[in-house]
Amino acid sequence: MGLQGKTVLITGAARGIGRACAVRVAEEGADVVLTDIADDQPDIPYSLGTAEQLEQTAELCRKNGASVLLAAADVRSPSVVKSAVTAAVDRFGRIDVLINNAGIGAPAGKATHDFTEDEWRVVLDVNLSGPWRVITAVAPVMVAQQSGSIINVASTAGLVGYRYFAGYVASKHGLIGLTKSAALDYAPLNIRVNALCPGPVRDDPAVDGHMTAVVADALGISFEEQVAVDLESVPTKSLVDPADVAGAAVWLAGDDSRKVTGTVITVDAGYSAR
């Protein structure tokens, strides 16, 4: 119960890593604010998390004793993000931890020069500007508290390049840069900012995982072929579970990491060690 008494806000909480993080922090005693766009978007070429999935995440958290606040929120909208943060403070009085998890894996699957302006823009808007917008809304709350932990979910794509994923790679590299600069901005105020870089993550049905399927579709290969590629890329010969990422997030959220800021932690089964 290392997060007892803390309030944790998680974006992209309907499924996948976001759901895994939500359940883990609830198990650790935190109350949670769960946000997700909870609707498909015409400029994103695959199905996004749903309101039903977000409610399922909430129910799993409640079973672990957490008080839960739900908010449908598109991180591309500053006003919507600010409204969600205001609702969180009105409900719980504080925000101790932000897990900036909302992100998209496509449009992708083509050479750099083949992306349209709109395709490039939507990936950067969600994956880089989105976390920045949430930080701008949450940081004043943490500044007033003189405490907080911000965890940006990046990717090994923030450390290396991936063929046919230029927008995604650029957005995740940018997120790591944002993490380091924000860590310096807030260090004197006892607010820590760190990034997690998951490697190939298994599509765990327990959390409605889907990103392997998104990557396979973008590259025009089968799901099984993408899994084989992922397994070949990691020295451990086993994929990362969403729960592995959630475990690292819990550590960054808690007091045991109180002197850790401006860092990048890989949870990638050894992928980036090559």
What are residue 152's DSSP bridge partners?
A: 100, 195
**Which among 46, 162, 168, 271 is annotated as catalytic?**
168
Measured CA to CA, the distance from residue 114 to residue 107 in angstroms comes to 11
- The residues, any chain, with a CB within 8 Å of residue 22's CB and separated by 6 or more, are 8, 10, 13, 32, 34, 57, 60, 61
Cis peptide before 188 (omega within 30 of 0): no
Give the DSSP letter string of 257-268: GTT--S-EEEES
Torsion angle defined by CA atoms of residues 140, 148, 146 and 172, in that order, rounded to the nearest 10 degrees: -50
Measured CA to CA, the distance from residue 66 to residue 23 in angstroms comes to 9
In what order do the strands lie in the sheet containing 97-100? 68-72, 31-36, 7-10, 97-100, 148-153, 191-198, 264-267
Q: Is 164 a catalytic residue?
A: no
- The residues, any chain, with a CB within 8 Å of residue 229's CB and separated by 6 or more, are 221
Encoded tokens for 220? 């025009």
Measured CA to CA, the distance from residue 263 to residue 94 in angstroms comes to 24
Measured CA to CA, the distance from residue 102 to residue 143 in angstroms comes to 23
Q: Which residues are marked as active site?
A: 168
